Structure 1
Amino acid sequence: MLVTAAPMLTACGGDDSGSGGKVTIEWMNIATTEPSQSLFPKIAKAYEAQHPNVDIKATSLENDAYKSKMTALVASGDLPDIYVTWGGGVLKQQIDAGLVKDITSDGAKVLGTMTDVSKKAYTFDGKTYAVPYDMGMVGFWYNKKLFKDAGVSGPPKTWTEFMDAVQKLQGADITPIALAGKDKWPGHYYWAYLAMRIGGMQAMQQAAQSNDFGGTAFIQAGEKLKQLADLKPFQEGYQNAGYDTPGGHSASMGAGKTAMSLMGQWAPAVMKDASGKDLGEDLGWFPFPTVEGGPGAVTDVFGGGNGHAVSKDAPPEAVDFLTFLMNEQNEREFVTSGAFMPVVKGAESALTDENRKMVAEALKGSTGFQLYLDQAFPPAVGAEVNDSVALLIAGKKSAQEVAQTVTKVAKDQ
């Protein structure tokens, strides 16, 4: 069950914690779909019940609207007390601007319960600036029934097998892939993963150090993605499709109209919420295939998680609330909801779904980890990655042009 108002669940000492007096905490998140749309408010109310002096004012925005809002808020220098972050270069830019609170000490109680990998994207120079609440990786979610109908024997292990599967699905009059072309960010997953498989983690590390995306791995990644796009494997109208909108990426996958979706650990819950249907045992998962001849291993993973950062002027109650949010019972509720992957040590025991267990095992056994490129680098670079890859998929930009424009923006930062 969800946390109650029992005193034993108070995070840091109950009403005596923090600054005293009436306190308002502004919390901006991305809880626009179930189960977080219901879970977050319930947990906030439970905290308020134990802390009558605290009023939590939450604002929930869809991903792209959230990113746009945050860009404006960062420019103004006035951030919410608590806000969602994916870490990496975006968070680092906010830290360098003096907008984020170092919670290494104040948040030690809750951070001490977290797995090391879940904190990695939020830690700089030995200091931690956010509390994770979800952690996972991107992989292919697929419809087993549609694979069987098309004569695809099982999850492809190589890029050649993947391309063969796409063509078999098309031959059976089945749309192979769901893609939110309007939102752009889902498309960059292909480019990033292909570059990782072709050049290995070394290619990603060199790009991060030199801000140069002109290497062979990135050029070839663009070329292979272009070959995929030329097959026209995406659902009709994908260019105007949103990720979690009616009739969009997740809805088409959840309704059984497309066979595959390259997406993160949250995908099944969003599919169900967007389509109103549950694929049940027909839903499967497999890691991004290897590319023949490339040093990138299937155990090199691409992804990230969600965390909450605290603005520099936030009251002490903000960190206290995040400690409460991620206590043992709430973490178990998150994990069993089907939308979140464990970040608290030992919470993986709450996983019951076989697909989510596969994701957890893949992450646990990973030999390399790359944060989403639109978060690993400063915002301008991430935006250019998403825009350029979208143009590549649409046939309006070459692989070389993508590499050149992303490199130019990266070097200008």
Structure 2
Amino acid sequence: MKKLTALLSVIAMLLLAACGGNQGASTSTGSGDGDEKVIEMWHIETGEREALFEEVAKQFEEENDGVKVKLLQAPNDAYKQKLAVSMSGGNPPDIFQSWGGGWLKHFVDQGNVEDITANVDQDHYLEMALNNGTFDDKVYGVPMGLSLDVIFYNKEIFEKYNLEEPKTYEEFTNVIKTLNENDVTPLALTNKTKWPGAYYLMNFASRIGGPDLFESAFNREGRGFDDPAYVQAGEYIQELVEMDAFNKGFNGIPYDEGRGRQLMYSGQAAMMDMTISFLNNVREEAPDFEEKLGFFVFPTIPGGEGNQTQVGGATGPVWSVASESEHPELAAEFIKALTTKETSQKFTDRTGTLTAVKGVVPKDDFVKEFYEVAQNASHIQMPYDQTLPPELAELHKDTTQALFGLSMTPEEAAKKMEAKAEELLE
């Protein structure tokens, strides 16, 4: 019995030791010259983005004696689940990444996010991007990056079949027909995780109903998610499916595995609707493909209220401080270090994307093309799933995936969305 008791004591001590690492909010640990202040940041980024964060952390530590910055990276889906659990358990990191909008507001409404308005120079950031982390005139999230949604294409394939960048839906479908006739998959799509297909719904809806459609439905200002424009958007999606515009089995293929991108790299598919992060994927996975890469903005729809100066976009990373942080001021200072003009210039030049910090012009020729689109945009639509409350955001992705699968009619999808919106938004 004594041996058993001793054994259990050892096991308990080992478990305590294993769980003793800092898994959430900041801690102070003993050091030779006093307490060391530790701030922990969770994020999803890899490659050059992660490397840049590590460089900023090292410099921050050098400039702040007795401070340690711990960075923890996790894949997108695992990260979201891990953060939600840590928030509900009262043990989140000091700093966490989000995309702003409804996803961040969910944690704000729960009292889990620090108001950092006093710590932020709001003129330092693009107003549209900062607004995505601002609620009730209080800043809860600071944007570092700005992305756009465009349609990438293989210039070599387009040249081979005498195709031009389509500006209208009729031109777009003519391109699709020509590619099908030549046994080239027109559009690569990996829609198991649902968000890639959602870009089509948002683009069609904006082109049909105009840029104010979503805001009107979201803010309950006259139009709803059952607006005829949303029904028509669903009809256009299903028309593309019935035209064999996409690769087979697209609703069962996850984006992160890269199979859709491989269709592009190998020349099996000619186009892909995706955020400008695709350029970074190309540079990491298939750098030789970049010389073949072009892009265009989503085409216009006959009789629609939208035009090509209205584009889809997203903010990210958006940095926030958890209300449970023991060192909120220090955490806010590190966020400022991540979004200085100097760091932001490195961010855009090294990662092939745009930044939400004012006055940062890309040096990279390809990224400059994205920059021109953003500069000339009359409206940038943030993703629905990052703006809507989580339950409605999931329904939006579920119903859109069902539209692609032809298992739900556009009318049914629109009615489901509006019914849930009436329940959650009013």
- TM-score relative to the length of structure 2: 0.85
Aligned AA for 1:209?
A: N
Task: Report the alpha carbon displacement of residue 351 of structure 1 after superposing the two structures with TM.
Answer: 3.1
CA contact (8 A) 2:90 2:324 kept: no
1:53 aligns with 2:66: yes
- The match for 1:230 is 242
Aligned AA for 1:345?
A: K
- 2-structure distance, mates of 1:366, 1:181: 27
Task: Report the alpha carbon displacement of residue 158 of structure 1 after superposing the two structures with TM.
Answer: 0.9
Distance of aligned partners of 1:158 and 1:77 in 2 relative to their CA distance in 1, 3 Å threshold: farther
- 2-structure distance, mates of 1:407, 1:71: 26
Matches within 5 A, 1:46-195: 46-108=59-121, 111-152=122-163, 154-195=164-205
1:346 aligns with 2:356: no
Q: Could you tell me which of 279, 282, 291 is aligned with 1:281? A: 291
1:409 aligns with 2:423: no
Out of 134-143 and 213-222, give the one that drifted further. Answer: 134-143
CA contact (8 A) 1:191 1:389 kept: yes
- 2-structure distance, mates of 1:379, 1:145: 41
Task: Report the alpha carbon displacement of residue 178 of structure 1 after superposing the two structures with TM.
Answer: 1.6
1:313 aligns with 2:348: no
- 1-structure distance, mates of 2:66, 2:84: 31
- 2-structure distance, mates of 1:134, 1:280: 22
Distance of aligned partners of 1:115 and 1:217 in 2 relative to their CA distance in 1, 3 Å threshold: same
CA contact (8 A) 1:100 1:310 kept: yes
Aligned AA for 2:231?
A: I
Q: Could you tell me which of 263, 268, 278 is aligned with 2:279? A: 268
Aligned AA for 2:81?
A: S
- The match for 2:214 is 204
Aligned AA for 2:343?
A: N
Deviations 1:182-202 (A, max 9, x none): 211010000011001100023
Aligned AA for 1:202?
A: D
1:242 aligns with 2:261: no
Q: Could you tell me which of 29, 44, 49 is aligned with 1:30? A: 44
- TM-score relative to the length of structure 1: 0.88
Q: How many residues align?
A: 386
Task: Report the alpha carbon displacement of residue 308 of structure 1 after superposing the two structures with TM.
Answer: 0.8
CA contact (8 A) 2:149 2:276 kept: yes
Larger Rg over CA atoms: 2
- 1-structure distance, mates of 2:227, 2:188: 29
- The match for 2:27 is none
Deviations 1:156-208 (A, max 9, x none): 10112111111111112111112122211010000011001100023222211
- The match for 1:4 is none
- 2-structure distance, mates of 1:68, 1:227: 35
- 1-structure distance, mates of 2:215, 2:204: 15
Q: What SS does structure 1 have at the residue aligned with 2:124?
A: coil
Matches within 5 A, 1:290-309: 290-306=300-316, 307-309=318-320
CA contact (8 A) 2:143 2:319 kept: yes
Deviations 1:300-324 (A, max 9, x none): 2221111111111321211111111
- 2-structure distance, mates of 1:182, 1:358: 30
Task: Report the alpha carbon displacement of residue 52 of structure 1 after superposing the two structures with TM.
Answer: 4.2
Out of 231-240 and 88-97, give the one that drifted further. Answer: 231-240
Unpaired segments ≥5 residues, structure 1: 1-19
Out of 264-273 and 212-221, give the one that drifted further. Answer: 264-273
Aligned AA for 1:131?
A: V
Deviations 1:255-274 (A, max 9, x none): 4432111111211112333x
- The match for 1:335 is 348
- 2-structure distance, mates of 1:155, 1:41: 40
Task: Report the alpha carbon displacement of residue 369 of structure 1 after superposing the two structures with TM.
Answer: 2.5
Deviations 1:95-121 (A, max 9, x none): 12111111111233xx44222222121
- 2-structure distance, mates of 1:146, 1:178: 14
- 2-structure distance, mates of 1:254, 1:123: 39
- 1-structure distance, mates of 2:347, 2:217: 35
- 1-structure distance, mates of 2:265, 2:139: 37
Distance of aligned partners of 1:71 and 1:164 in 2 relative to their CA distance in 1, 3 Å threshold: farther
- The match for 2:372 is 361
Aligned AA for 2:240?
A: L
- 2-structure distance, mates of 1:375, 1:187: 15
- 1-structure distance, mates of 2:231, 2:386: 21
- The match for 2:231 is 219
Aligned AA for 2:149?
A: V
Task: Report the alpha carbon displacement of residue 48 of structure 1 after superposing the two structures with TM.
Answer: 2.3
Out of 41-50 and 401-410, give the one that drifted further. Answer: 41-50
CA contact (8 A) 2:115 2:138 kept: yes
- The match for 1:376 is 387
- 1-structure distance, mates of 2:199, 2:338: 30
Q: Could you tell me which of 411, 420, 426 is aligned with 1:400? A: 411
Find runs of 4+ consecutive structure 1 residues off by over 6 angstroms. Answer: none
1:259 aligns with 2:270: yes
CA contact (8 A) 2:283 2:290 kept: no
- The match for 1:10 is none
Task: Report the alpha carbon displacement of residue 339 of structure 1 after superposing the two structures with TM.
Answer: 3.0
Aligned AA for 1:96?
A: D
CA contact (8 A) 1:27 1:56 kept: yes
